[in-house]
Structure 1
Amino acid sequence: MKAVIVLCLMALAVARGDKNAEILRNDFELNAEDGSYQSDMESSNGIRMRASGISYPGNEPETGSYFVEGEYQYTDLEGNTVLVKYTADENGYKPESDILP
């Protein structure tokens, strides 16, 4: 799960290339009772990210799975707003966007 978020943010940083961007909002909420979380982030250069997920524990320590859904948005070099929605679970990362084949 963390890898998916990090990869999304890295892709956005490379796509935008704005070294002076500032984080305007970075909210994270963890529900310890059921293992779910919600995360929202927005930066001054128009990048936005929203994700929520839940952990499903397995029968043994260090086993189980996650389900994550979210979206990120940025402005490409031509000034177009790009939106990518995704889910990620034990079957992999599944993005949906007009920019994808």
Structure 2
Amino acid sequence: MKLVIFACLVVVVAAAPQDKIVEIISDQRSDSGDGNFNYAFEADNGISVSASGTPGAAGQVNMEGVFRFPLDDGTIAEVRYIADENGFQPQSDLIPKDHPLPAHALQQIRFAEEQRAKGVE
């Protein structure tokens, strides 16, 4: 049993990140406790996050924010988002765009709509 515990500890230590420590260069937070909040932080490695929240009509907290992080090529990736009663809605050049539907798929959709209009279920 001691050998198993020792082996687990060795694995945990070996898996620990060996890179430099990332320092937080700014950290701002406010929370009124009623669903209104703001936070923003930035790290020395180029990562930054900010968000604000307000109470929503259905009891949820609506959020709006952005996060940025460096890519391997040195550019900065950015994701902006809204999270509200309509769900999580991210916007970014990183998110793949929908490709156009092929002609046969459009044909099937039109056929299904025609059938529904005729009352076919």
Give the shorter-chain TM-score range. Answer: 0.5 to 0.7
Are 1:72 and 2:73 an aligned pair? Answer: no
Write out aligned runs for 1:75-86 (5 A): 75-86=70-81
Between structure 1 and structure 2, the one with the greater Rg is 2
Q: Which runs of 5+ in 1 are unaligned?
A: 1-17, 59-63
Is residue 89 of structure 1 aligned with residue 89 of structure 2? no
Q: Percent identity?
A: 36
Higher strand proportion, which one? 1
**Helix, strand or coil: the match of 1:87?**
strand
Q: CA deviation at 1:31?
A: 2.3
The CA deviation at 1:75 is: 0.6
TM-score w.r.t. length of structure 1? 0.68
How do 1:1-16 and structure 2 match up within 5 A? Answer: none
Aligned residues: 78
Residue 35 of structure 1, CA deviation: 2.8
Give the distance between the partners of 1:52 and 1:21, measured in 2 at CA.
24
More helix by share: 2
Give the Cα–Cα distance (whole angstroms) in 2 for the partners of residues 37 and 19 of structure 1: 31
CA deviation profile, 1:35-77 (whole Å, cap 9, x unmatched): 310100100101011100012476xxxxx21100000111111
RMSD: 1.8
**Paired amino acid for 1:24:** I
1:28 matched to 2:23: no
Residue segments in structure 2 that go unaligned for 5+ positions in a row: 1-18, 97-121
Give every structure 1 segment of 4 or more consecutive aligned residues whose post-TM-superposition deviation is greater than 3 Å. none
